[in-house]
């Protein structure tokens, strides 16, 4: 008589061996788990936190982002949190992925039984990280490997229907995650955490909304015994879902603009990394005055970063990690002067900005440049509409697309009667002003070799603005009929 013993050995999250042994220990028969094998053919292995495809992953520098990390960690270890979801959000380059990575590593190292799975989206990734088709299959695989009590249910489901991972997201989450979880009689008491990073980089807005809708539906209707940490930029359709939509009462929002001290964290990061660079190139750097670089240079970089960790990490990589044979002193000189090679240091940033701008249709590119030029000239939304001639609806589309790069706020307008000339009896809309989150974005836009087709000629736009104003004033003074049309 043989006894079935299933032994699972794995590195990270990869299953290696499954076998059956008889009671005498003399014969071995490998047990092929058909369902799990099928699942491995339909996952995005590069999306997991410990994947070699993401090595080395960005994570929080020691001593930084401590407040955000504590809020999330406290929520993870709380046996009965008030919210099933945390939404971690912030502008492009603010360090959301680094926090998500740090939390995933912390879970795996210290609270492994509370780690459910992770998926790090990456726009345009050909291995499945750029769309939502493999999200729930990949999470189901990690849950199956991580929790032995769940494994046979997921395996049996796929053995019966091997095509499940190719079905819609609605079918995948229900068949591969929800139904198996509802069948397990001895599920863990402490709900595991699923980490989904970069939701805004997933396919399109429809897919992103659908993912959030499915998660919220199954939490509400099936008491899904999982909790979710979701990190993204605050794109308006994502923001609406979390703030007023189906996720609203399930979610604890964490804004990286409001939590912690980004400027202080970036300064600590730069000081520590520059010290490490000095150690790495000790022979070259032996003659420089310490601390290096001078405090004023570090403070300049902190100001230029504007809370943008990707900017700070770009500087560090360029100065000390461009190659094994670079001279940090020369690399720093390039960054602190008007050297034409300075632009090469920010290729990663430029790609990020170009990617965000590319979402705006080409039919709106002329309007995009006028809106951006207006922002640089510190014009209000209403001034851009009236004096630069950009349609209000198009302005709204552009501002929504740039949401992760700009801050739009209402302000009091002292010369309201001026706008009344143009808006007439219908009254003036609320006055708003726009600023960039990051100084480096404006630098990119005004540097034609870097921005290419997105280059903004601010001088030309300023000329257009004053030409229009002069014509309108001239019309008003001469009381021409054309001026009266603005009152209609």
Q: Could you tell me the mean pLDDT of each successive run of 10 residues in the chain, 488 residues long?
A: 43 40 41 81 95 91 95 97 97 94 96 95 84 95 95 94 96 98 94 97 94 97 96 94 95 94 95 95 92 96 93 93 84 86 85 90 94 94 92 93 87 51 48 85 92 95 93 74 51
- pLDDT number for residue 17: 41
Evaluated on CA atoms 161, 162, 168, 169, the torsion sign reads positive
The model carries a pTM of 0.83
Return the HEC string of 111-177: CHHHEEEEEECCCCCCCCCCCCCCHHHHHHHHHHHHCCCCHHHHHHHHHHCCCHHHCCHHHHHHHHH
Which pair of tokens denotes residue 299? Answer: 């403070």
Phi first, then psi: what are they for 119, rounded to 5°? -150, 115
Evaluated on CA atoms 341, 344, 349, 352, the torsion sign reads positive
What gap in Å lies between CA 374 and CA 343, rounded to an integer? 24
- pLDDT number for residue 125: 78
In contact, 98 and 90? CB cutoff 8 Å: no
DSSP label of 251 = E
Burial readout 229-246 (b: 16 or more C-beta within 10 A, e: otherwise): bbbbbbbebbbebbeebb
Burial readout 197-213 (b: 16 or more C-beta within 10 A, e: otherwise): bbbbbbeeeebbbbbbb
In contact, 382 and 455? CB cutoff 8 Å: no
Which helix (H) or strand (E) segment is 240 a member of? Answer: helix 236-243
Phi first, then psi: what are they for 122, rounded to 5°? -145, 120
- pLDDT number for residue 481: 56
Which helix (H) or strand (E) segment is 374 a member of? Answer: helix 365-376
- The answer to whether the bond into 293 is cis (omega within 30° of 0) is yes
In 288-418, at which residue ranges do the beta strands (DSSP E only) sit? 406-410
Residue holding tokens 């995009």? 368
Which pair of tokens denotes residue 234? Answer: 């605050």
- The answer to whether the bond into 224 is cis (omega within 30° of 0) is no
Indicate the SS3 state at residue 385: helix
Which pair of tokens denotes residue 202? Answer: 């997933």
What gap in Å lies between CA 68 and CA 256, rounded to an integer? 8
What gap in Å lies between CA 385 and CA 302, rounded to an integer? 34
Which pair of tokens denotes residue 45? Answer: 């292995």
Of the candidates 322, 282, 275, 321, the one whose C-alpha atom is nearest the C-alpha of residue 298 is 275
Which helix (H) or strand (E) segment is 11 a member of? Answer: strand 9-11
- The answer to whether the bond into 235 is cis (omega within 30° of 0) is no
Residue holding tokens 């050297």? 339
What gap in Å lies between CA 326 and CA 396, rounded to an integer? 46
């Amino acid at each position: 008589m043989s006894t079935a013993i299933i032994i699972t050995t794995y590195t990270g999250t990869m299953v290696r061996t499954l076998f059956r042994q008889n009671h005498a220990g003399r014969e071995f028969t490998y047990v092929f788990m058909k369902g799990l094998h099928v699942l491995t053919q339909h996952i995005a292995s590069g999306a997991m936190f410990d994947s070699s495809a993401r090595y080395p992953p960005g994570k929080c520098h020691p001593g930084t982002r401590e407040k955000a990390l504590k809020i999330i960690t406290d929520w993870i270890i709380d046996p009965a949190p008030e919210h099933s979801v945390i939404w971690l959000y912030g502008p492009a380059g603010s360090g959301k992925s680094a926090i998500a990575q740090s939390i995933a590593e912390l879970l795996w190292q210290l609270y492994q039984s509370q780690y459910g799975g992770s998926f790090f989206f990456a726009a345009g990734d050909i291995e499945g990280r750029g769309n939502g088709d493999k999200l729930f299959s990949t999470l189901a695989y990690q849950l199956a490997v991580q929790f032995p009590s769940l494994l046979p249910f997921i395996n049996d489901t796929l053995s019966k229907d091997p095509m499940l991972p190719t079905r819609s997201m609605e079918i995948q989450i229900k068949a591969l995650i929800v139904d198996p979880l509802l069948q397990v009689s001895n599920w863990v008491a402490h709900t595991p955490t699923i980490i989904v990073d970069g939701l805004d980089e997933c396919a399109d807005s429809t897919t992103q909304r659908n993912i959030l809708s499915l998660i919220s539906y199954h939490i509400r209707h099936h008491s899904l015994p999982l909790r979710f940490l979701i990190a993204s930029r605050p794109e308006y359709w994502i923001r609406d879902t979390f703030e007023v939509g189906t996720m609203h009462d399930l979610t604890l929002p964490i804004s990286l603009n409001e939590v912690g001290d980004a400027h202080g964290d970036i300064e600590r990061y730069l000081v520590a990394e520059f010290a490490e660079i000095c150690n790495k190139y000790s022979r070259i750097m032996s003659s420089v005055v310490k601390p290096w670089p001078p405090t004023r240079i570090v403070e300049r970089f902190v100001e230029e970063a504007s809370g943008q960790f990707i900017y700070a990490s770009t500087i560090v990589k360029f100065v000390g990690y461009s190659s094994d044979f670079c001279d940090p002193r020369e690399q720093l000189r390039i960054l602190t002067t008007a050297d034409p090679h300075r632009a090469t240091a920010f290729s990663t940033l430029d790609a990020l900005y170009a990617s965000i701008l590319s979402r705006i249709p080409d039919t709106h590119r002329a309007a995009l440049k006028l809106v951006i030029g207006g922002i640089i000239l510190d014009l209000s939304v209403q001034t851009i509409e009236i004096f630069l001639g950009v349609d209000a609806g198009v302005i709204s589309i552009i501002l929504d697309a740039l949401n992760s790069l700009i801050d739009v706020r209402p302000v009091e307008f002292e010369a309201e009667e001026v706008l009344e000339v143009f808006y007439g009896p219908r009254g003036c809309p609320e006055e708003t002003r726009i600023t960039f989150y990051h100084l480096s974005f404006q630098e990119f836009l005004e540097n034609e070799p870097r921005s290419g087709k997105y280059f903004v000629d601010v001088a030309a736009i300023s000329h257009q603005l004053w030409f229009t104003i002069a014509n309108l004033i001239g019309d008003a003074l001469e009381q021409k009929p054309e001026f009266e049309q603005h009152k209609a």
